[in-house]
A and B are shown apart, each in its own frame.
Chain A
Amino acid sequence: MPEAHAATPTNPASFDNAIKQYRPHLIEDVGQALSGVRTLQARVAAKDLQGAKAAWISARAGWERSEVFTGAFVPDFDEKIDAWPNATTGFHAIEARLFGANQTDAEDVTNAIVERLSALDAKVRDITLTPQGLLNGLAQLTYEVGEDKADGGESRISGTSLDDMRNNVAGIENAYNIVFASAIGSADPGLASTTSVEISKLKALLDVKSLNDVNTKALRQATEELVVTLQDVAPKIGLARPVLGPSP
């Protein structure tokens, strides 16, 4: 009975290979964040404002792509690296100095973030990555992308909130494709194609000139629909319904 066979939940253990393939991408994203802040450290020391700004943006891209992982597995790192709103620590404190005040006096806070990201860089190499945690991270981050940005969003001082969202979705797409797409494709091709369509929809909604042009209502709806789909997907691949927060 092929139908019954198709409906059999995938054993979570069968994600081992997928996760093995995913880890290098995660290492690369965190690596980009780390090398970005190291460059930033050098540019800040050289009082090179333009170079420092470019390095900050590059570091952010890697960081935002890795948020599927950080939000679900290392929320304490997330908190220290990406504090909001706080004028003293993390990316946004540096952003305020570079993009707000147009000053490079951000040595201490940059040194601190280099230290944190170095620790994270070491951690991603051997931390246990569970499929459930990654599914939780996907759902959490997707939901967050739909949050209101009418106030300019989190990276409003540099005007890069839209980039944050795009990098988030790139991270979502990458994690989904590498870790889950094939398992869902075998378990329920219909749901697999729904998920892919919904991810593409997110990308399309963010493919606009500036944050002002994002259709916020459609984006919120699309992110919530994707999370609802992920809730439906979970039991088909032997996982629990994704949790939208740090595991209790």
Chain B
Amino acid sequence: MPARSLSLAAVGLAMVLVFQRAFAFPVDGRQTTLPVGTELNEDAIDRPREVFRSEATGGRKSYLVDLGDMAFNASDILGGAARQAGISCGSCHVNGASNPKLFIPGMSSKPGTFDTSGPLFNPNANDFVRDAVRIPSLRGARYMAPYGNNGRTASLRDFIRNVIVVEFSGPEPSTAILDALVAYIQDIDFLPNPSLGPGGKLNTQSSVAERRGEALFNKPFPHDPTLSCATCHVPSGGFVDHMVHDVDTGGLFKTPTLLNADFNAPYFHDGRFDNYGQVVSHFDREFDLGLSDRDKSDLVAYLTAVGDGVQATEREGAAASLREISDFASVLAAAIPAHDNEAISLAVDTIGAELRDVTEHIPDLRDTTVSGGEKERNLARMALKEVVLILRRLGIDAAAGKYDDAASDYMTYNRFMTAAVPTIVLKAEAWSLFNPPIHDAHYAALHQLLSSINQSHP
């Protein structure tokens, strides 16, 4: 992966990392929508794997889940600078997980954190306190009430509305969109973890260190026998207690789940700790646990086993991107006959943006970091643009109340997207940014270009 600058001072310095949005981040230069040094990690090749409860239990995602997934990835439901910059819920919660690399100068205290009451996205909600919090993963969020790092909101629905309207200056969301967002988020499951058996206990294949760690986790604290790690992180209850506690980090904060937490660093409400070792040491100090070095490493082994998950990331390829687009587009099958212009317009804009994103993954001929596949690249780019335009035509027809025409546009769209366009795009994939060596060469050239700025402003 190409390196990205993570702070103003570090602009131009290469660091190894992970959106994109088909947008050539990092942000740099002048006249930019987002602050210089912004890292959205949109060009990550490996992205968090998303598991849906409906599919994991043998069913399929509902219309509401697909609509919600689309809205989640639509900057249109937000307002202000977020909409302007193409930021959506999915920018921070990539595929419903977190985004440990995200950094927005002035809004983040370190990568993976974000100040929801900062100056950029809703100046009216700016509290002039640098209080960035870590971006949480939404896996298993349906079990995690109350919501917010301090558990301030009981209802997921109220929480989402507040994020949209207050934190990101969006228009009041419709009932249908809120229903859909709730349905989507509640369908995001934890990654399965074969190390855990019933009741959140380690299964028999665990290592000795992990088992010793489990025992320590459940052992009463020496100076307060009513407490253990497991008192708050209840193994049989998703490793949470749905309460807030003061563990000397500056206030009352909600117990976070330990499930899949291996992929959720940094830790604590403000992301102050980068690894389990630091977390264990904090509790050792705070509760005077008297842990030996071996105890600490056993606890870390246990936490690592509990926090694991099968195949946490997946390679972003053209096929996966087109599959997601196809899930989003399925919304149109219901929205057009229902004359639901809100959903149609959201679909046209969001799917169009995703298709443009895939297009930008296929370099045009001016990108001299790529050689070969000229014909394939041109064809793929042309095909994707044609599809964007079919969707736009669909949007124009629906907005004019011509739903029969819109339905016929949708058939045309499907005819293209069922076989022809995926075939053409996959033929170009070898020369696209979905291919790691091409990706790296492209971003290396971009970094080299932008590094000129650093030469004059050391």
Contacts and interface: CB of A to CB of B under 8 A. Distances in A.
B455 interface: yes
Interface in A141-186: 143, 147-153, 156-159, 161-162
Interface residues of B, number: 53
A158 B21 CA distance: 23
Interface string B275-302: 0000000000000000000000000000
A84 B367 CA distance: 5
Contacts of B22: 148
A76 B364 CA distance: 11
A115 interface: no
B75 A220 contact: no
Interface stretch (A31-39, A51-59, A116-124, A224-232): A224-232
A140 to B, nearest CB: 9
A78 B378 CA distance: 14
B389 interface: yes
A103 B455 CA distance: 9
A189 interface: no
Interface in A82-99: 82-87, 89, 92-93, 96-97
Given A150-B21, A216-B84, A248-B379, A100 B30 contact: no
Interface in B357-374: 360, 365-369
Given A75-B365, A157-B452, A211 B33 contact: yes
A101 interface: yes
**B interface, by DSSP: helix, strand, loop or mixed?**
helix
B445 A156 contact: no
Q: Size band of the A side of the interface?
A: 35 or more
Contacts of A157: 28-30, 449-450, 452-453
Given A151-B23, A217-B83, A244-B386, A224 B392 contact: yes
A101 B156 CA distance: 49
Contacts of B24: 85, 151
Interface of A: 75-76, 78-79, 82-87, 89, 92-93, 96-97, 100-103, 143, 147-153, 156-159, 161-162, 210-212, 215-217, 220-221, 224-225, 227-228, 231, 243-246, 248
Contacts of B450: 96, 100, 157
A86 B443 CA distance: 10
B131 to A, nearest CB: 26
Interface in B310-351: 349
Contacts of B31: 152-153, 156, 159, 161-162, 210-212
A152 to B, nearest CB: 4
B365 A231 contact: no
Given A148-B86, A217-B349, A224 B389 contact: yes
A86 B389 contact: no
Given A156-B31, A157-B30, A245-B381, A228 B389 contact: yes
B453 A150 contact: no
Contact of B445 (A76, A85, A231): A85
A85 B369 contact: yes
A102 B30 CA distance: 14
Contacts of A220: 349, 352-353
Contacts of A162: 31
Contacts of B93: none
A228 B393 CA distance: 7
B5 to A, nearest CB: 12
Contacts of A152: 27-33
B442 A211 contact: no
Contact of B368 (A83, A212, A217): A83
13 contacts: A79-B365, A79-B366, A100-B451, A100-B456, A151-B25, A152-B30, A156-B32, A157-B449, A162-B31, A210-B31, A217-B349, A228-B396, A243-B382
